[in-house]
Chains A and B, each alone.
Chain A
Amino acid sequence: MAQSDVEVYLDASSGEPLLPIARQAWLDAQQAGWGDPAGLHRPGRLAAQALDQSREVVAAAVGARPDEVVFTSSAAHANYAAVAGLALGRRRVGSRIVTTAIDHSSVLATAAMAGAHTSVEVDHEGRVDLHRWAAAVGSPGTAAACIQAANHEVGTLQPYVEASQICQRAEVPLVLDATTALGRIGLADDSGWSLLTGWAGAFGGPASVAILVIKKGARWRAPYPTDDYQNGRWPGVPDVPAIYAAAVALDWWLQFGREVSERQRNLIDLLRAGILQHIPDVDVAGDPIRRVPHLLTFSVLYVDGETLTLELDKAGFAVASGSACSASNEHPSHVLAAMGALTHGNVRIGLTSTTTAAEINRFLEMLPSMVAEIRATVGTS
């Protein structure tokens, strides 16, 4: 296969490249928002203002108050802080932490470390079983629950409104991991979560900024040492220029995102149909309709994920893979395995805000023969 100079980036699920408007905001903030927001001097006051503005943007996006918004350093940190903090605050009630089987690995790891983890089954499309969710959440000794708004690998929407109502009835606080959904789909008003997490890298803000929202009255206690920054919710001097850039990126999606998301939704529909039509023995994962606009995961039978990813890279397409023995993984995607989906030969696609129809058509034109060639070398065509 020919070496290509043009790199089409289709790995937005691992992070959307910094939006140009966010890059500009970061540069602007380096001029005027770089100070310590706790400082009494002018640079400090400017930084404090920028931080306040950033909190307001996030608060409006999720239906919270600005003083409930905290910025952390990564999505994993935000999920850890949220789940472990509720476990700590609710330790007198019990130690059970309920999640879906396909929540992000940082959520599952925190639940296992901070309490007794109950993982609730999902169906073949990745949607959580609400009966089992209710049984787990309603069991005595449940400290907290966490559910994602949408899955980060396959894009399926979780019934988080129903799940949160179940939690409210059982008086169990819920963390809503909104990482994959924020900016892309509207979050239901009044959906009854106690904490919410997100990540700026998911929507074209800096990867070093994540979001933690703690509703007033939540039984949350910091599971780490804190100081005076961010009302004692997350320690250390906030990186205000990065936070400001993150807020600008989120604001862009809220203002202009609908058109982009519609376009992306159609491209994913096109991709899905094209793959099913032209590639024999392929397993396309996730709900085709009730999903975020920009993600698609499919697995190709008899082909190994690393080979496929590298061949796609040579052909000028950057994608991720949920297969075991792709370079970054030793184990297959827990998401695909929990859904009963094929894990080998996996390609995970995340469209960026600038992905074009021409790029997707080129991908579809090239993929069938690439797969056939790889299968021929294995002897399974």
Chain B
Amino acid sequence: MKCPRPVIEIARRIGEVRIGALIELLADDPAAGPDLAAWCRMRGQRLIVSNPPRFLVRRES
């Protein structure tokens, strides 16, 4: 199970932080950038930084 891993991980952990908090993610999978952006759009979250392999997501909902 490869490419969905970064998105699966953040989906699992997003509930652990309060709204407004940031989660940093490190992923070298080439799909991580586009898929984190898509996941944020689908889930109402915000991708603050997309600088592969480093990503920063803010919980908005």
Contacts and interface: CB of A to CB of B under 8 A. Distances in A.
- Indicate whether A and B interact: yes
A303 interface: yes
Nearest to B41: A340
Given A283-B42, A325-B2, A344 B30 contact: no
Interface string A255-295: 00000000000000000000000000101000000000000
A302 B38 contact: no
B49 interface: no
B3 interface: yes
A298 B33 CA distance: 18
A323 B34 CA distance: 11
A331 B37 CA distance: 16
A325 B7 contact: no
A336 interface: yes
B30 A324 contact: yes
B20 interface: no
Contact of B31 (A302, A343, A380): A343
Nearest to A374: B1
A235 interface: no
Contact of A342 (B2, B8, B42): B42
Interface string B29-45: 11101110111011000
A337 B37 CA distance: 9
A341 interface: yes
Interface residues on B, range: 10 to 19
B4 interface: yes
Contacts of A307: 1
A378 B8 contact: yes
A332 B38 contact: no
Interface string B1-24: 111100110011000000000000
B38 A343 contact: yes
Given A380-B11, A380-B12, A340 B4 contact: no
A325 B8 CA distance: 16
Given A324-B30, A331-B30, A343-B31, A302 B8 contact: yes
A125 to B, nearest CB: 14
B42 A281 contact: yes
Contacts of A306: 2
A307 B8 CA distance: 15
A378 B4 contact: yes
A325 B3 contact: yes
A301 interface: yes
B3 A304 contact: yes
B31 A324 contact: yes
Nearest to A345: B4
Interface of B: 1-4, 7-8, 11-12, 29-31, 33-35, 37-39, 41-42
List the 10 closest pairs (A to B, CB-CB), nearest first.
A342-B38, A337-B34, A332-B31, A344-B3, A324-B31, A344-B4, A325-B2, A343-B31, A325-B3, A331-B30
Given A302-B8, A304-B1, A332-B34, 9 more contacts: A283-B42, A302-B7, A304-B4, A324-B3, A332-B3, A342-B34, A343-B31, A343-B35, A378-B1
10 contacts: A283-B38, A299-B38, A302-B11, A304-B2, A304-B3, A324-B31, A332-B3, A337-B33, A342-B42, A380-B11
